[in-house]
Structure 1
Amino acid sequence: MNKRIDNILDNKWWQEVAVVLFSFTIYTLKNDWMLFSSFISIAMGVFFYCILYMHAQFNRFFLLPILFKANKPFTYIILTLFGVFVFSVILYEITKMDMFANCHLYQNSHQRSYAYQLASVLGTLVCILSPIIVFKFYRIHRKQTDAALLFNQMQLNSLKGQLNPHFLFNTFNTLYGISLQFPDRTPDLIMKVSQLMRYQLESNSKQCVSLEDELEFINSYVQLEKERVGYRCDIHFESKVDIEYTYKISPMLLIAFIENAFKHGTCAIENCFVKITISVENGLLHLHVANSIPKKNDVVSTKIGLKNTIERLNLIYGKDYKLDVKDDKQTYIVDLEIQLKKFVG
């Protein structure tokens, strides 16, 4: 239903019909000619409206471009006033013709005055031009919005394309480290990695996934890291959602912060830790990630994952999210808050 209404609003012909009906209704309410059953009265009323409509269209196609394209408001005002004067004189002269002798239209003296015709021309001009201008700016705004959405989607797809190989690279590095220390566990871990890759590929074509699927993906990744460094690193992961199976989130949006914590927080042998807490209350997701910073850090980071994730946050949420990063040389803390939308279907 909404799509049908949007199509009508976007269609210039339907807009034109709406403008004619609106202005014609106002015109009939202003005059009493529709109250008479005389065919001549009705015909002359329609004839007068056509003249008023022609004046409005003349202003629309010949004078409005002077205002919007040439950006000359003073010239537009002068020409508009001149056009109103000319058409009001034409109407005034028509009312004095003999054809109105047997017509009930404009029989009152004030209706045949020049001031009345001037008011009719001005009023009809406003009634016709106002919705036309509104529809024009609506189409322009809609076109700009659609273009912006398309551009944002292209950027998001580009960022996803960069993030996925980045995640794949880090995951295989993790798998390589485990295979060196615990070769007997490698087959099971390969299966876990394949599940992660499957989720990554399946979610790549989706704008949103359920929060539960994303949390399960994150949990699987954390379990994989525990297999690698859990024997020497304090790893804690906790997630709390107030209403399960309710929210949706852009896929692979949180994983970069978690990857970063394991990449830098587990490269030391002593006193290393990674703490991850994800909570959702009333749709507000709060991600808290804290990891230790080793005194000597030999890990080289390009920060591609973090950079791309922040760009995705900007594209998806604009200013409607909070990201706070603290680095005190011993602990690296990330706090992210985003308002989730309800998941349907």
Structure 2
Amino acid sequence: MKWKIENVLENKWEQEIAVLGFAFTLFSIKNDWILFRSFQAVLPGIVYFFILYFHAQCNRFFLLPILFKKHKPLIYLAFTAILAFFFSVALYEIANNYLYQTSALAKFSHQKSYPYQLASVVGTLICVLGPTTLLKFYSEQKKQSSETILLNQMQLNSLRSQLNPHFLFNTFNTLYGISLEYPERTPDLIMKVSQLMRYQLESTDRQCVTIEEELSFIDSYIQLEKERVGYRCEILYDCKIDNENAYKISPMLLIGFVENAFKHGAGTIESCYVRIKITVEKGKLHLNIVNSIPEKKREIISTKIGLKNTKERLELLYPGTYNLDLHETGNTYTVDLRLQLKKIVQC
């Protein structure tokens, strides 16, 4: 059986063995390895060490919960001092009357003094409580992180399950509008919609897609909207990537902003526009969308899921690495997103 650090961090019994070995090693070094010079010194030395170790374990299992569970540090310190006093007195008597008589543990005169025994008790306590507390903290943090990751994944799955029908709803609304005005173009448009649906379906189970795939999907969606409202709405789309096939992004992350721009910016017979600019430079994505707001707003059917879900997904997937600015000024609505993309190897 191989001894690995990962095993120690995960297995409770291996943690105990590691802490015991660590404390015993320091104890042996403190005594100049005299425990191993003769058989006669081994047994008294082990007894001496396990008195120290027993004291540390008593503090760990009976007193430390007062600090961590009941949050009473002063009571914990008081009981710790009392327990250390009694153990140091007992160790002083046992060591001088029994252990030192049959071994060479006491190499110097100061080792027979009470302050030395008290220092040994406190020092061993620190050597045991330090690693055990650190390991406990590590285990709790890992458990908390695992629970957070699981919760985030459940939330993402829930958001995706809401986003899929929302995207279908908007796409088929677009297709329906085009078929009413240009029925002869419907077969070609159905083919384009099917390609969009294929991407949406295939990307559902993927954590990341290449930025090129995502932008190609957006480009296809914009082309579909041009078929629908391009004759009466100014549609500008500009996309630049400085390093292809280097970065990835969560699928269907940007489409909510694009859908919203066309839904509200092109949903009128008045003069309108939708301007979309996307740049990827040194791993940073900059999405800027500006759409017009009609003076006479008409009632637009909206589930209000798209933008809400997109903002929630950004917070779950890219916390602290994005900046989103949504603002309305006069007859213009602007979306400005700056996002640090993940490299392909990170997904």
The TM-score with structure 1 as length reference comes to 0.94
The aligned residue for residue 135 of structure 2 is 135
| Native 8 Å contact 1:33 1:104 kept in 2 | no
Provide the C-alpha distance between the structure 2 equivalents of 1:136 and 1:35, rounded to a whole number of angstroms.
31
Task: For residue 190 of structure 2, give the secondary structure of its aligned residue in structure 1.
Answer: helix
* Number of corresponding residues: 342
| Native 8 Å contact 1:88 1:117 kept in 2 | yes
Task: For residue 253 of structure 2, give the secondary structure of its aligned residue in structure 1.
Answer: coil
The aligned residue for residue 280 of structure 1 is 280
The aligned residue for residue 73 of structure 1 is 73
State the Cα deviation string for residues 1-43 of structure 1 (Å, max 9, x = none).
Answer: xxx7555423222222221222122111111243752012122
Equivalent runs, 1:305-344 vs 2, <5 Å: 305-344=306-345
Provide the C-alpha distance between the structure 2 equivalents of 1:313 and 1:105, rounded to a whole number of angstroms.
64
More displaced, 207-216 or 119-128? 207-216
The aligned residue for residue 215 of structure 1 is 215
| Native 8 Å contact 2:44 2:102 kept in 1 | no
| Native 8 Å contact 2:52 2:125 kept in 1 | yes
State the Cα deviation string for residues 177-206 of structure 1 (Å, max 9, x = none).
Answer: 111122222112111111111111111122
The aligned residue for residue 225 of structure 1 is 225
The code of the aligned residue for 1:130 comes to G
Provide the C-alpha distance between the structure 2 equivalents of 1:36 and 1:158, rounded to a whole number of angstroms.
63
Q: What value does the CA root-mean-square deviation take over the aligned residues?
A: 1.7
Provide the C-alpha distance between the structure 1 equivalents of 2:186 and 2:285, rounded to a whole number of angstroms.
34
Name the % identity. Answer: 61
The code of the aligned residue for 1:159 comes to L
Provide the C-alpha distance between the structure 2 equivalents of 1:20 and 1:137, rounded to a whole number of angstroms.
18
> Compared with structure 1, are the counterparts of its residues 33 and 80 closer, same or farther at alpha carbon in structure 2 (3 Å cutoff)?
same
> Compared with structure 1, are the counterparts of its residues 192 and 34 closer, same or farther at alpha carbon in structure 2 (3 Å cutoff)?
farther
Do residues 301 (structure 1) and 311 (structure 2) align? no
The aligned residue for residue 167 of structure 1 is 167
Task: For residue 203 of structure 2, give the secondary structure of its aligned residue in structure 1.
Answer: helix
The aligned residue for residue 150 of structure 2 is 150
Task: For residue 276 of structure 1, give the secondary structure of its aligned residue in structure 2.
Answer: strand
Provide the C-alpha distance between the structure 1 equivalents of 2:189 and 2:324, rounded to a whole number of angstroms.
33
The aligned residue for residue 57 of structure 1 is 57
The TM-score with structure 2 as length reference comes to 0.94
Identify unmatched segments of 5+ residues in structure 1: none
> Compared with structure 1, are the counterparts of its residues 182 and 37 closer, same or farther at alpha carbon in structure 2 (3 Å cutoff)?
same
The aligned residue for residue 89 of structure 1 is 89
